[in-house]
Structures are given as C-alpha cells and as structure tokens.
C-alpha cells in the first residue's frame, strides 16, 4: 500500500471536486474560440495529409546516348512563311537545315488571324515540269531536261531543275544568292510571286524538334543557312535585310514532356524589334528533370533558365536578322518525388494541435481570471482609482 501511496504523489492530473469549480463568462468565450481555432487547424492538417508532398533531390546526370525533344510555338507578326526557315545544329557537328519534319507553318494576316489551314511547309513549291536546259536552246526529241545551276554546279553533269535545287547548290558552294530574280526556275515555280504575295503577312511556326542530348542551337530566320570561311551566314533570298521584321511572340518553348508545377520562363514573352534590323539571342541552360508521381510513374523531362540578348543591325554585317536559341545541358539532374505524409506524423501533429491550443487557452483564461479578481479586490478595498 505504501508503494501505491507514493505512486499517487506522481499524479500530474489532480482531481478537483465539483464543489470547487468556478465557471466564468470569459472562460466560456475562450473555450469557444479555442475550439473553433483547434478545428480549423485540424482540417488544415488533414488536407495536408491527404495531399501529396514533393521532395527534391539533386544527383549527377549519368545518362548517355539520349535525345532531347524541343517543343516550340512562335508567332512572327511581320515575317512571311515563304521566307522563314528553321535550322538546328549541335557541337557534335550534326546539322538539320530547313527542318520540315514535325515542324508546321501557319500563315497569318495583319490581324493575327489564320489565312489557311496548317501545312507541313508553306515553302514546299511544286517541281518545274519543263525547266530550262543547262545550255539553253530548244529541247530535241530524246533530250533530257537539265536546268542550269547558274555557276554553282560542282560538276558538268549536275542539274538544278527547281528553285530549291539552285539555292541548295549555292549553299553548298558557300555563296549567297544575291538576286533571286535572275533564277528562271524560281520564276517558273512562282516562288518570287509567292514571296511578293505574302509580303506583310505573319507566320506561326510550331511543332517539335528531336535533337542529340548535347549542347547546340537552333534558329528561326529568313533565308537559308550556308557556311563561308568557317562562318555561318544566311542567304536572304536577295531581299534587303532591313526589310525583315523579326518581332515575335514565344507562345511556348519547352524541353521534354510537361509535368505538374513546371514553369517555362519564355512562354508568352513578346519581343518587338525597335530597329530596321536586329538579332535576338536566347542563351538557355537546360536542367534534366525526373518527376515521379504518387503512383510511381516517372516522367523524364527538362527545365531551363534563360538569358536574353538583343543585337541591333547597326553593329556590323555579321548581324543577321532572326531569333537564335543557344542551349547547353547541366550536369546535375533534379528529381521530384511525390510522397504522402505518414499517418504517424499526422497523428503527432494532431496531438500537438490539441495540446498546444488547450495549454495556451488555459494560460489566457488563468491570466484573465486572476487579473479580474485582483482588480475587483482592489476596488472593494478602495485602492483602485
């Protein structure tokens, strides 16, 4: 019995007879407020428990031999689809010139409305049925058609039977096609007339690129790319370069599939060309990302940061009109993993809410109760004035 008597002295919850209870109005009000506050905290914690929490992790990217998908949707308000082209290249030396696969162009009027249905490529002109012969003159009975390359042929047997083949021959030579009006194939295909017809129109270019997962760049510019003296130059189709307005709106630019919470910093960005000629450059750092949802499904994608630079046309002849995107890959991969909080953590938090609110409410009630009694006693003794 002595052991049990000693155990009673350890009771941290002494029982008080109901005869000594004193209920007050302030105590009732504090109880009501604390109960509402406790309920709100419980509901908030319960919602957090039901929702998934995202954990971040940084690891070294050890992947090899993968490809990078670039999703783009860019609108040029004053650049016609007949002259715009998309080229891509990387540091491994691989080049994709005038990309048409999975890239689409939509002609726009001055108000930004679509003129016709999307086409794989608005520059895709029909072949010349009866091109000029290489040396001119009339065709004989069994003579083979062979259009002139206008000095750009690599051999005597080479023929250029379309405007595109002439431009390609000039590009391989590293020559700029200064005056496209002299190219008879372009006249016969109606290429020049189409360029003039689309003057003042805009173009929406969209689609996706599949490139090697190495540093590289892609650009959207008028004309075609060619190389001369280890420099990349643009064939501007014989049109004055100051007549190109590369003002644009980036509707979307992303690398890889979408995942919840991703923000693309260039989306909905509008750039207005202030000079007669200008070059926009975007330097992009791509960060490989793996997102794992609550069900365990993985999404391998990318995030990126960007720095923008604009060069006016009066900075020299090396400034070519266009929008250039230079991208590099980060060696660090980010992993986002969705996890649900444990029930034990939820239970611990609920106990902390109940105990904490009850304790704070008791302290406030005790302060108000004893303060009120002290003031009342002083007033009875006439010591309170």
**Structure tokens belonging to residue 315:** 């900075």
**Structure tokens belonging to residue 342:** 């444990």
Express each pLDDT in 322-347 by its tens digit: 899 999 999 999 999 988 888 898 89
Residue 156 φ/ψ, nearest 5 degrees: -70, -20
- Say yes or no to pLDDT of 37 above 80: yes
pLDDT above 90: percentage of residues in the chain: 28
Tokens 């109960």: give the residue.
35
Supply the pLDDT for residue 318.
62
> SS3 for 219?
strand
- Say yes or no to pLDDT of 99 above 90: no
* Per-residue exposure over 58-80, b if at least 16 CB sit within 10 Å of its own CB, e if not: eeebeeeeeebbbbbbbbbbbbb
Supply the pLDDT for residue 72.
94
Q: Could you tell me whether strands 278-292 and 248-255 are parallel, antiparallel, or unpaired per DSSP bridges? A: unpaired
Residue 85 φ/ψ, nearest 5 degrees: -145, 160
Express each pLDDT in 100-146 by its tens digit: 888 999 988 888 888 865 444 434 444 444 444 544 544 444 456 67
pTM of the model: 0.67
| Residue 122 Cα distances to 110, 203, 306, angstroms | 18, 10, 30
Residue 1, judged by CB atoms within 10 A of its CB (0-12, 13-18, 19+), counts as exposed
Tokens 């996890």: give the residue.
339
Cβ neighbours around 336 below 10 Å, total? 20
Among 57, 65, 16, 26, which residue's Cα sits nearest to residue 334? 57
Supply the pLDDT for residue 267.
92
* Per-residue exposure over 111-134, b if at least 16 CB sit within 10 Å of its own CB, e if not: eeeeeeeeeebbbebeebeebbbb
- Which of 356 and 8 is assigned the larger pLDDT? 356
Express each pLDDT in 189-241 by its tens digit: 666 666 666 677 889 999 999 999 999 999 998 876 555 544 455 555 555 55
Contact (Cβ atoms closer than 8 angstroms) between residue 104 and residue 119? yes
Among 120, 122, 82, 79, which residue's Cα sits nearest to residue 103? 120
Among 76, 107, 113, 137, which residue's Cα sits nearest to residue 323? 76
Supply the pLDDT for residue 141.
45
Q: How far apart are CA 311 and CA 279, in angstroms?
A: 5
Name the DSSP letter for residue 242: G
Express each pLDDT in 155-173 by its tens digit: 777 888 777 777 777 777 6
Q: How far apart are CA 209 and CA 36, in angstroms?
A: 56
């Amino acid at each position: 019995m002595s052991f049990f008597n000693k155990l009673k002295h350890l009771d941290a919850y002494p029982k008080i007879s109901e005869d000594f209870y004193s209920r007050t109005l302030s105590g009732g009000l504090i109880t009501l407020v604390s109960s509402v506050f406790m309920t709100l905290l419980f509901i908030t914690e319960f919602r957090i428990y039901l929702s998934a929490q995202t954990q971040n992790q940084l690891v070294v990217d050890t992947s090899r031999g993968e490809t990078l998908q670039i999703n783009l949707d860019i609108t040029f308000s004053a650049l016609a689809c007949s002259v715009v082209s998309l080229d891509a290249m990387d540091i491994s030396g691989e080049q994709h010139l005038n990309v048409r696969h999975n890239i689409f162009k939509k002609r726009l009027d001055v108000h930004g409305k679509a003129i016709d249905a999307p086409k794989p490529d608005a520059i895709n002109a029909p072949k010349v049925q009866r091109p000029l012969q290489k040396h001119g003159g009339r065709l004989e009975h069994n003579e083979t058609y062979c259009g002139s390359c206008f000095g750009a042929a690599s051999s005597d047997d080479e023929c250029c039977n379309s405007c595109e083949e002439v431009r390609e021959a000039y590009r391989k030579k590293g020559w700029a096609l200064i005056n496209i009006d002299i190219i008879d194939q372009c006249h016969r295909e109606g290429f020049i007339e189409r360029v003039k017809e689309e003057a003042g129109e805009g173009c929406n270019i969209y689609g996706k690129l599949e490139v090697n997962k190495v540093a590289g760049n892609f650009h959207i510019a008028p004309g075609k790319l060619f190389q001369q003296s280890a420099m990349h130059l643009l064939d501007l189709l014989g049109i004055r370069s100051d007549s190109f307005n590369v003002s644009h709106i980036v509707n979307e630019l992303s690398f890889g599939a979408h995942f919840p919470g991703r923000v693309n910093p260039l989306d909905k960005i509008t750039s207005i060309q202030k000079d007669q000629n200008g070059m926009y450059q975007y330097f992009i750092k791509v960060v490989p990302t793996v997102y794992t949802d609550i069900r365990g499904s993985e999404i391998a994608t990318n995030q990126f940061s960007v720095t923008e630079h604009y060069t006016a046309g009066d900075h020299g002849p090396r400034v070519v009109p266009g929008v250039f995107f230079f991208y590099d890959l980060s060696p660090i991969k980010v992993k986002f993993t969705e996890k649900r909080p444990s029930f034990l953590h939820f239970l611990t938090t609920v106990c902390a809410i109940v105990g904490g609110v009850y304790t704070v409410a008791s302290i406030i009630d005790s302060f108000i109760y004893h303060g009120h009694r002290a003031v009342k006693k002083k007033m009875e003794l006439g010591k309170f004035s």
